[in-house]
Structure 1
C-alpha cells in the first residue's frame, strides 16, 4: 500500500511550467487576498511597521505576511484548478 503511494508520488509529472499567465494569475490572487484582508483584519497595524506604511495600505508586517501567504495558497489552488480543467 505504502509502496504504491510512493510510486504515484514519485512518478507524478509536474502539472505545468511557469508562464506569464501563471504569474498574472498569482499576482491577481495576491491582490484579491490583500483586498480581502484589508476589509476583514481588525487590527491591521499591530506589530512591527513596514518602511512606508502608506504604500502598504497601513498594514503591519504580520498582516502583510498573512495576506500574501493566503494569496499564494489561493493562487496555487486557482492555477492547479485551471490546469486540471484544461484552461492553462
Structure 2
C-alpha cells in the first residue's frame, strides 16, 4: 500500500563506475590532507598500519570517515546536476 509513496521519496542513485571510484579516492585524499593539517595532535594514539604522513590510527580513521562523507555528498551532488 505504501510502496508507491516510498518510491516517490527515494533519491535517485547512480551505479558504480570508475568515475565514481575516482571521485571517492580524490575526496579521501583531500580529507587526509585536511586532517593532517588541522588535527591538533595527529600522533596521539596507536600508529596506523600504513605510513600516511605520521597520522595515528584514530586520526586516519577520522579523516577517512570525513572523506567518505565528503565523497558521498560530491557524488550525489554531481549526479543530481547530471554531471556523472
* TM-score (ref. length: structure 1): 0.82
Residue 12 of structure 1, CA deviation? 3.0
List per-residue Cα deviations over 1:37-85 (Å, max 9, x = no partner): 1110010011111235xx2110111000000000000000000000000
CA–CA distance in structure 1, aligned partners of residues 49 and 11 of structure 2: 41
Aligned positions, number: 83
Unaligned runs of 5+ in 2: none
Name the structure 2 match of 1:33.
Answer: 31
Which ranges of structure 1 fall in alignment gaps of 5 or more residues? none
1:21 counterpart residue number: 19
Q: Select between 10-19 and 60-69 the one with higher mean Cα deviation.
A: 10-19
Residue of structure 2 aligned with 1:48, choices 46, 49, 72:
46
Counterpart residue number, 1:79: 75
CA-atom RMSD in angstroms: 2.3
